[in-house]
Structures are given as structure tokens and as C-alpha cells.
Homo-oligomer: A and B are copies of this chain.
Amino acid sequence: MSQSFSSFIPPSRVLMGPGPSDVYPQVLEALARPTIGHLDPKFVDLMDEVKQLLQFVFQTNNTLTMPISAPGSAGMESVFVNLVEPGDKVIVCQNGVFGGRMQENVLRCGGQAIMVQDKWGEPTDLNKVRETLQANLDVKALAFVHAETSTGVLNDAKALCQLAKEFDCLTIVDAVTSLGGSELKVDEWQIDAIYSGTQKCLSCVPGLSPVSFSDRAIEVIKQRKHRVQSWFLDMDLIMGYWGRGGKEGKSSKRAYHHTAPVNSIYALHESLLILHKEGLQNTHARHDRNHLSLKSGLEKLGLEFVVQKNYRLPQLNMVRIPDGVNDAEVRDRLLNEFNLEIGAGLGELAGKVWRIGLMGCSSSRKNVDYCVSSLEAVLD
């Protein structure tokens, strides 16, 4: 192999796409601390703290709360492969890309996905969900995306969970983009299984997926008739490593399952500390404030929001690309001349919209101003 290689020095981008978001410098610092063993008592203590901090951000007492050692899409899969068995019916609400991915997961578990479709850019219609629940009284779970990253729509998680409980079915929630950016109350809303990602509003590096399962979900897993199809994502095995909580919790022996991504866990811990210190309400208020100031700036440039105000996400701003403007050219110039990343449209929205993220560390006055002034220069 004659080619010569050299160390990779990344450019310093400003990350205002749909994720990853800018990572807090303290998080990068934590990431680079010396690796220790994944069964080292000091690491096990850290795992316990990460669990507690995740319980805080999820607003839950669920003992089964932890990061899956892989990105959000693996977190999604961990929920479906553990809860859905062949033949199970799951209602999946789709109003963007990620509802479709949930459907894929149900199908690959041998389940039946009953779809409730809504227009991309609009929220899931509660009436349709109620009708679908009424027409399918044997459904096992209702699955939906809390914050649709592909459109910037907030679905009404609280109301959807209430509906599901009325019909006595489990709730499965995608909180990849909502965790840390939108109000989210796992216990109060009675969410049974939820997953997120570290690279959005937590402003940690990508690669981990925090999940939480209610006691009811654990009971369902225990009653399974078929083995979980994934060994890597079998929650029963993962619990043996992350601890089962309760009486056998902190002091219980941890069984080796896989090697945890030790350094990424350092980083997650640090990002959760930052969120814990700021407080959830303050974090949400900051996301709202910066969203409003971005909105004001973008509207001055003549850019229009696609999503209606009452279900618009502050952390993911989807605006229409003006007629005659070349999508790729604008994004390329922003990236190359301004080191600024914004997101393209996904799926049916490709070429029609931009998605501007204001997530976690990226949700700052500085980023808002920089984004507006850079766009102004490029669109001029």
C-alpha cells in the first residue's frame, strides 16, 4: 500500500443541521480522558451515575434506564425487538421519515404495523389514532415520534400516551430529537419504552442511544414467547451488565455482555451534567428563546416556516427554499465559505426545504446571529 496517510484534522464547523449538534468543549475534554476497563469498579460507579442522570432527563424512576452502546437507530431497534413478537400488532404514527423507520422495525420483528399516516409537516391526528385504536382492540403498542427530525413537527406525546392508556396498550416513543429540547415526562405521561440519541439536544458526540423501559414493559419482555432476535440488543442480557436496579441494584455483580464504549460514556456523563446544572426548564426556555430569534431573523430574509406555530419544534426549524434558489449551492457555500452546516430536506421534502437545528449547545444567540448573517450573505 503505497498511499501516504496523515492525521485527520477536521474543519471547525458550526453545526446547525438536524444533528450532530455542536458538542460542548467540556464534553470533548471528558471524551479524551484515559480509557479504563468496562468492568472497573470506577467505571461501574460512573454507569450508575449515568443511569441516575438519564432518569433525571427522562423524568422517570424507571430502573431500566441506560444508554445503548450504539446510535439512535439501534436504540429504536432495541425497543422494537424486545417488545414486539411475531404476529403482534403495533399502531405506528407516521408524519415524516422516522415513523417509516418504526414501521420497518415492526415488520422485521415479524409484527404487523398498522399505519396512521399524516402529512409531512403536520402533526399526528389524534382522532385518526383513536379510530385506529377502536378498530384494532388487540394492538400491543402505539408507536410514534415525539419530535420529527425530518420535518420539525412536535407530536402531542402526552395526549397520544393518554389515548393509548385508554385502550390499554403500550406506548413506544422516539425521543431522538426531543430529549433535552422539548418537555418530556416519561413517568407522568406513562411512556413504556423510549429511546433517544446523544448527538441532538444533549450535544454529546454521536454514537449512544439513551433508552428507558417502564416496569410494565419489562413485564411484557419477561413474558415473551420467542427469544429476542438480537443478541446485542437483548435487554435481559444488557440489564445483567448495566444492573437491574432495585434491591439487586447498585451492589449487584455486573455480568459481561459487551465492551461498553467507555470514552463515549465519559462524554455522555459530562453532557448530562451540563443539562442537570442548567436545569430542564431553563434549557427548554433557552431553546424557545433562540428559536424565536432565529425565526425573526429568517423571516426578515423572506424565509417562511413550513410547520404551524403551535406544533413547531424550537430545536428544528424547517423553512421553504425560495423559488429560484439552488438548494445544494447554498448549502455548499455555507459549508465552504462559512463553515456552517444546515440540513437538507429528507424524502419527499428533499430540495424543497432547509432544516436548521438549534439543539443543545448549538442553541445559542451566537449561532442564531451567525446563521442569519451567513444566509443573508449567500442569498444576497
Contact = CB atoms under 8 A, between A and B. Distances in A.
Interface string A207-218: 100000000000
A12 interface: yes
Nearest to A226: B108
Nearest to A75: B232
Contacts of A71: 69-70, 232, 258-261
Contacts of A223: none
A172 to B, nearest CB: 15
A42 interface: yes
A29 interface: yes
A40 B13 CA distance: 10
A235 interface: no
A275 B327 CA distance: 41
By size class, the interface of chain A is: 35 or more
A276 B32 contact: no
A77 B231 contact: yes
B8 A258 contact: no
Given A1-B56, A199-B259, A266-B10, A32 B32 contact: yes
A33 interface: yes
A259 B37 contact: no
B231 A40 contact: no
A15 interface: yes
Contact of A42 (B11, B49, B258, B266): B11
Contact of A23 (B35, B53, B228, B229): B35
A101 B258 CA distance: 11
Contacts of A230: 77, 108, 229-230
Contact of A49 (B8, B32, B104): B8
Interface string A6-47: 111111110101011011001011111111111011110010
A37 B49 contact: no
Contacts of A341: 36-37, 40
Given A8-B266, A49-B5, A259 B19 contact: yes
Nearest to A104: B231
A264 interface: yes
A189 B20 CA distance: 40
B231 A105 contact: yes
Contacts of A29: 32
A259 B108 contact: no
23 contacts: A1-B52, A3-B52, A5-B276, A7-B30, A7-B273, A8-B46, A10-B42, A10-B266, A13-B34, A13-B37, A20-B259, A22-B35, A40-B335, A40-B341, A69-B207, A71-B232, A72-B258, A73-B232, A104-B231, A205-B262, A206-B261, A206-B263, A207-B264
Which 10 A-B pairs rank lowest in CB-CB distance, beginning with the nearest?
A: A207-B261, A32-B32, A70-B70, A73-B258, A206-B259, A205-B263, A28-B32, A23-B35, A74-B232, A71-B258
Given A8-B49, A15-B35, A70-B70, 16 more contacts: A5-B49, A10-B42, A10-B266, A11-B36, A19-B259, A20-B259, A20-B262, A32-B32, A36-B341, A73-B257, A74-B74, A76-B231, A77-B231, A104-B231, A108-B227, A206-B259
